[in-house]
Amino acid sequence: MNIFSKHFSSIVMGCFSFFVLGCQSHQKPNNKPNVIIILTDDLGYADVGFNGSLDIRTPHIDRIAKNGVQFTNGYVSYAVCGPSRAGLITGRYQDQFGFSRNPLFAPKDESQGLPLSEQTMAEALHTAGYKTMAIGKWHLGAHKTQRPLARGFDEFFGFLSGGHKYFPEEWTKNDISEVSSQFDAYNTKILKNNTRIDEQEYLTDAFSREAVNFVKANAKQPFFLYLAYNAPHTPLEATEKYLSRYPEIKDKKRKTFAAMVSAVDDGVGTILNTLKDLNIEDNTIIFFLSDNGGNESKGANNGPLREGKGWLYEGGIRVPFAMQWPAVIPKEQKFHDPVISFDIFATVAAQAEVTPKNELNGVNLIPYVTGKLHQAPHQALFWRHYDRDAFAVRTSESKYVKDRNGKAGLFNINDDISEKSPLADPLKIQDLKADYMHWNEKNIPPQFDGLLQNKDYNKTHPNRFKNVEKY
């Protein structure tokens, strides 16, 4: 008997609790909570203090875990940037709507990004009167129909592509009409809403500044801030202000990586202090996580986890993940059952009392972290890497992985976090594979070419960068 038949009744009850327990079973303030998601880019599992970092100091990020809950088994829905963000912002497995690849920077192609059939978290919160802003990296489509202001955000400050350079003097492209290749977009000037501006600050500091300004401007109404730092994603670039904090780190890549994380940490501290000064900290839900695991060849540290970015082993999908809501969530918790990034949408929707347009795959975490519910939030979590013919299934105790090289193994993930010792249990493997096949029936093939198909896309779209509008 597989997981779906064994736990049908508990799934029904879990769905019921999303609508009932999520909104009624705990004490919360009368006014709707503010929501802040702080998303980092390629941050390793062991690159923050609350996960045991020994060399990078993150006192402000650690405050979020100390003020609330650290998810020791916190996952994202994919092992690279774009699909992971699609899962987070929609609250759904991105494979169900074909967002299974990193989208190309193709501003004339509306298929290269988040389908219009999908509702973003910002669109849902708009129905509850929230003021919304996206800051930082978008990477969900560059076509005008897919940009933040067209997907539920009132304001945007950042860039559209999958990465960006950090120093203003490197932003030599006035707008996207001057982009002539995939990675040229790293050099564009920053967008403020739909206008290119002459920003002068180090990029991470600019994002933090804009986040604080948004919070201050909207302190008297419910707001949603999606703060998607591109740090510490490459290129590895940091100012002397942050580099000077790590004279003891001799490896150049690691030192610069540490400095970039330190810049994020400073920004987080400024935001937390602003919330406290405005007396809205207690009624603000904050989530902190990374979009995928770290790339250790680029300076990250995934600690005991196997592999990293791009892999379905723990190092690629298990990330630093913490949450605070002082008015509701008890402090200094460690929550050990698996949770996943699209639980954020389900949690936020329940607290804002909105009904999402599409069926969410996440669960409202509040009843679990407040002790109202004691079972695991999920019976199983799933991952698919379509182009590599790889997949993974995670239950509370077990994980089965078929990796991109065709190797497969079953692991007791609680006892073997490093996935070093595969287990011989044919019946368990059969059950987990059957569960994956059942889940995969709802998925569709990728709906656009990704980075791996960039050369082929250029051949079939020779006018990709010609006559692009100047914005």
Q: What is the pLDDT along the chain (471 residues), one digit of tens a residue?
A: 444 444 434 433 444 434 433 433 333 444 899 999 999 999 999 999 999 999 999 999 999 999 999 999 999 999 999 999 999 999 999 999 999 999 999 999 999 999 999 999 999 999 999 999 999 999 999 999 999 999 999 999 999 999 999 999 999 999 999 999 999 999 999 999 999 999 999 999 999 999 999 999 999 999 999 999 999 999 999 999 999 999 999 999 999 999 999 999 999 999 999 999 999 999 999 999 999 999 999 999 999 999 999 999 999 999 999 999 999 999 999 999 999 999 999 999 999 999 999 999 999 999 999 999 999 999 999 999 999 999 999 999 999 999 999 999 999 999 999 999 999 999 999 999 999 999 999 999 999 999 999 999 999 999 999 999 888
- Whose CA is closest to 365, among 90, 13, 51, 17? 17
Tell me if 284 sits within 8 A of 28, measured CB to CB: no
| Residue 370 in tokens | 């407040």
Geometric angle at alpha carbon 190, from 219 and 129, rounded to 5°: 30
The dihedral built from the CA positions of residue 146, 286, 270 and 273, taken in this order, carries a sign that is positive
143 among known catalytic residues: no
Q: 7, 60, 81, 143: which one is catalytic?
A: 81
Q: Would you say how long the chain is, in residues?
A: 471
**Dihedral pair phi/psi, residue 446, rounded to 5°:** -55, 140
Instruction: Report residue 382: phi and psi, to 5°.
Output: -135, 150
Catalytic residue (choose from 7, 126, 139, 143): 139
- The pLDDT assigned to 31 comes to 86
CA geometry: angle 422, 426, 432, nearest 5 deg: 85
> Which CATH fold topology does 3-23+33-379 show?
Alkaline Phosphatase, subunit A (3.40.720)
The pLDDT score that the predictor gives to residue 470 is 86
139 is catalytic: yes
How many angstroms separate the CA atoms of 208 and 240, rounded?
A: 18
Fill in the amino acid letter for 379.
Q
- At 471 the pLDDT is 83
